[in-house]
Amino acid sequence: MTARIHPLLGAFAILVFLFLLAPLVIIVGASLSDTTYLTFPPQGLTLRWFANIFEISAFRNTAITSFQVAILGTGLSLLIGIPAAYALNRYRVGLPKWLGTLFILPILVPEIVFGFSLLKSITIGMGLPVYPSLIIGHALLVLPYSVRVVGASLASFDFSVEEAAISLGCPPLKTFFTVVLPNIRAGVIAAFILAFITSINDVSISVFLTGPGISTLPIQILAHMEQFFDPTIASVSVLLMLVTVGVMAIVEATLGLTFLTK
Amino acid sequence: MTVSLTIENLSAHYGQTQVLKDLSISVKAGELVSLLGSSGCGKTTTLRIVAGFLAPTAGHVRLGDRDLTTLPAHARDIGLVFQNYALFPHLTVQENVAFGLKQRGISSADRARRATAMLERVGLAQLADRLPGALSGGQKQRVALARALVIEPPLLMFDEPLSNLDAKLRVDMRVEIRQLQKANGTTSLYVTHDQEEAFSISDRVAIMNAGRIMQLDTPEVLYQKPANAFVARFVGFENLIPMKTIARDGAIVTAEAAGGAKLHLSQDLFGPIKDDFVLATRPDGLVVRGQGEGIPATLGTRTYLGRAYQYKCETAAGEITANGALSEMFEPGAKAVLVPLPEQCCILDPENRDTTSRPD
């Protein structure tokens, strides 16, 4: 038996999908256009704008910076976020309720305000160079994902399992690595992916923290668009989309996508 | 290796609330002692202090000649069985059982041999490669038992191990636990709120209330000779009738209940004879009769129990539940007397305020 779908509902669903996907189709089309300005539908077909990305060293360099910052920033956020999530769950009874909220502040505060305050505090205030500032800024930006997603995993973890390991002679720290961590592995990977994608795509924090000679890919895309407005922008965007699709494909193949939406 | 467990003058606080009050228990080598009481009586707190997961505010825990009080939990060498099994979800049954051996640096060949042997003892050798998620509740608890026993701990502790199992399995498992515990001669501390479970599995039972031990004795003594009103109520002495001694004549003590009913009781029932005492009986220790020496009562609701009728009775000493023979049925509202059966009565001290809270 198949459920009957009202024709209007069907039409509406198709419209929603179009609305979601059309911009992506337009970008792909624009990236292939054989013109020197952005246009859709494409006039003529060429891959030269993709080749152009690799000829512009600024794209290469900022892409490398972006990946480095995303990996190191996300790593740093997990180093802080996993113990924080552990403490928030393990000692829930004894801790004040607002403490958990503290860790999602970077999501709640408008990013532009957050970026500016980071500029004031770490770049100007502490005088840190651009690169470490970027890493610290991104780590703070994605910390909520680490704490919340790992926390969701820990919420369903039975801490008496940890006590069982300790009673069997396993010291507490070793217990964390041999018993707790393997059981929240999916949460840690999910947190890493969400945080990584957030970091790679970030503009508002980076725009304050990048400086002379060091920039991230989204900032470079903006800068390039202001100067040239050629289809290179579209082709970079297509490449970024492919990276995201690739990450998702790996996740789907190894863990299943459903665990990201849980 | 069998050693005794000694808990001395243990006190514990949660914030300002004192949950254990100067608690002392001694578990002899090879003995199984249960801590029995309703939730909040301090039984689990006691177990967690012995395990090292909580620190006492005063007192000592000794295992043999080792003082455990300040030892970290992982260095105490105690086998623990949890209510919710607490198996490692990411390890197979075999790896779960071998976990404690691995921590002790035992070679992988020895680990495998000992874990397999222990799994055979609990009848689960064929499930060695399964993950815990694929086991039933009873199987999980057997794995947990094997995991705790395989390290050959000098002390085994059970925290409500059967509460999550169904009734039939609970009975089977407690027999199994008892057999394994006896065969190994492991000193054991067993926490439960289930009286039948505690009485059937233990050498001795400590009945706890509000952070104190009310009585620690064999199940037989607890069931027949409760030492105080709290324990009496706990083991089913529903009727606690305050009495006054008014005369002694040789071996016969004459006592009076509220309302003036007089009873002649044998001195053998008493320890030292006091002016005020409480006569405690179960419903079947008071017989409803048409006449005789007893407590006058007006009968209320009658319930058919199969072996007897049970009546709710109004007396001058309060509401009392008593049983009557099937051959002599009374209607609600009838006048009768309640005759105590001496062999089923207990003489207790009057309740003091500290012990009057009822078990739930």
Distance from CA of B90 to the nearest CA of A (A): 6
ipTM: 0.85
| Domain boundaries defined on chain A | 22-55+230-262, 64-227
User: What is the per-residue pLDDT for B134?
Assistant: 93
What value does the mean pLDDT of chain B take?
91
Of the candidates B51, B52, B49, the one whose C-alpha atom is nearest the C-alpha of residue B23 is: B49
Q: Is A168 at the interface with chain B, CB within 8 A?
A: yes
Percent of chain A that is helix, strand, coil (3-state, to 5): 75, 0, 20
Contact flag A164-B82 (C-beta cutoff 8 Å): yes
- The amino acid at B317: A
Which region among A132-136, A253-257, B55-59 has the lowest average model confidence (pLDDT)? A253-257
Is A1 or B269 the better-scoring residue by pLDDT? B269
User: What is the per-residue pLDDT for A259?
Assistant: 57
Residue A106's H or E segment, with its range, is: helix A105-108
β-strands B345-348, B276-281 pairing: antiparallel
Q: Is A94 at the interface with chain B, CB within 8 A?
A: no
Separation between Cα atoms, residue B69 and residue B52, nearest integer Å: 8
3-state secondary structure of B13: strand
pLDDT confidence band for B356 (50 / 70 / 90): very low
**With pLDDT > 70 as the criterion, what percentage of chain B qualifies?**
97
Distance from CA of B203 to the nearest CA of A (A): 25
Reading phi first (left if > 0) and then psi (alpha if -120 to 50, else beta), residue A73 is in alpha
CB A134 within 8 A of CB A119: no
**With pLDDT > 90 as the criterion, what percentage of chain A qualifies?**
40
Contact flag A169-B53 (C-beta cutoff 8 Å): no
User: What is the per-residue pLDDT for B355?
Assistant: 45
Separation between Cα atoms, residue A218 and residue A236, nearest integer Å: 10
Chain A: residue whose CA lies nearest to B152: A168
Contact flag B73-A167 (C-beta cutoff 8 Å): yes
CB A113 within 8 A of CB A44: no
Separation between Cα atoms, residue B300 and residue B312, nearest integer Å: 5
User: What is the per-residue pLDDT for B354?
Assistant: 47
User: What is the per-residue pLDDT for B357?
Assistant: 46
**Which residues of chain B does CATH 2.40.50.140 include?**
237-351
Whether residue A1 has pLDDT greater than 60: no
DSSP code per residue over B140-170: HHHHHHHHHHTT--SEEEEESTTTTS-HHHH
Q: CATH number of the domain at A64-227, out of 3.40.430.10, 3.20.19.10, 1.10.150.120, 1.10.3720.10?
A: 1.10.3720.10
Q: Say which residues have a Cβ less than 8 Å from residue B55's Cβ, sequence separation at least 6.
A: B49
Whether residue A260 has pLDDT greater than 60: no
User: What is the per-residue pLDDT for A257?
Assistant: 61
Whether the bond into B89 is cis, omega within 30 of 0: no
User: What is the per-residue pLDDT for B351?
Assistant: 75
Distance from CA of B96 to the nearest CA of A (A): 10
- The amino acid at B89: P
DSSP code per residue over A200-221: HH--HHHHHH-BTTB--HHHHH
Residues counted in chain A: 262
Distance from CA of B282 to the nearest CA of A (A): 40
Whether residue B352 has pLDDT greater than 70: no
Q: Which fold has domain B237-351?
A: OB fold (Dihydrolipoamide Acetyltransferase, E2P) (2.40.50)
CATH 3.40.50.300 fits B5-229, yes or no: yes
**Which residues of chain B does CATH 3.40.50.300 include?**
5-229
pLDDT confidence band for A212 (50 / 70 / 90): confident
Helices A57-90 and A185-201 pack at an angle, to 10 degrees, of 140
CB A118 within 8 A of CB A137: yes
Contact flag B147-A168 (C-beta cutoff 8 Å): yes
Both tokens of A26, joined, read 């337009």
pLDDT confidence band for B1 (50 / 70 / 90): low
Average pLDDT over residues B106-112: 95
Reported as a single tens digit per residue, the pLDDT across B154-198 is 999 999 999 888 888 999 999 999 999 999 999 999 999 999 999
User: What is the per-residue pLDDT for B6?
Assistant: 95
Could you say which of A161, A170, A171 has the minimum Cβ distance to residue B86? Answer: A161
For residue A63, how far is the Cα from the chain centroid? 15
User: What is the per-residue pLDDT for A261?
Assistant: 54
Could you say which of B74, B79, B80 has the minimum Cβ distance to residue A171? Answer: B74
Reported as a single tens digit per residue, the pLDDT across B271-315 is 888 889 999 999 999 999 988 888 999 999 999 999 999 999 999
Reported as a single tens digit per residue, the pLDDT across A161-204 is 999 999 999 999 999 999 999 999 989 988 998 899 899 888 88
Chain B positions in Cβ-Cβ contact with residue A182 (cut-off 8 Å): 90
pLDDT confidence band for A154 (50 / 70 / 90): very high
Separation between Cα atoms, residue B184 and residue B178, nearest integer Å: 10
Contact flag A160-B84 (C-beta cutoff 8 Å): yes
Reported as a single tens digit per residue, the pLDDT across B135-157 is 999 999 999 999 999 999 999 99
Is A103 or B354 the better-scoring residue by pLDDT? A103
For residue B351, how far is the Cα from the chain centroid? 21
For residue A139, how far is the Cα from the chain centroid? 11
The 10 Å CB-count burial string (b at 16+, else e) for B138-155 is bbbbbbbbbbbbbbbbbb
User: What is the per-residue pLDDT for A54?
Assistant: 87
pLDDT confidence band for A258 (50 / 70 / 90): low
Separation between Cα atoms, residue B65 and residue B51, nearest integer Å: 17
Chain B positions in Cβ-Cβ contact with residue A158 (cut-off 8 Å): 84, 86
Q: How far is CA B16 from CA B13, B19, B45, B288, B336, in A?
A: 6, 9, 15, 49, 52
- The amino acid at B145: L
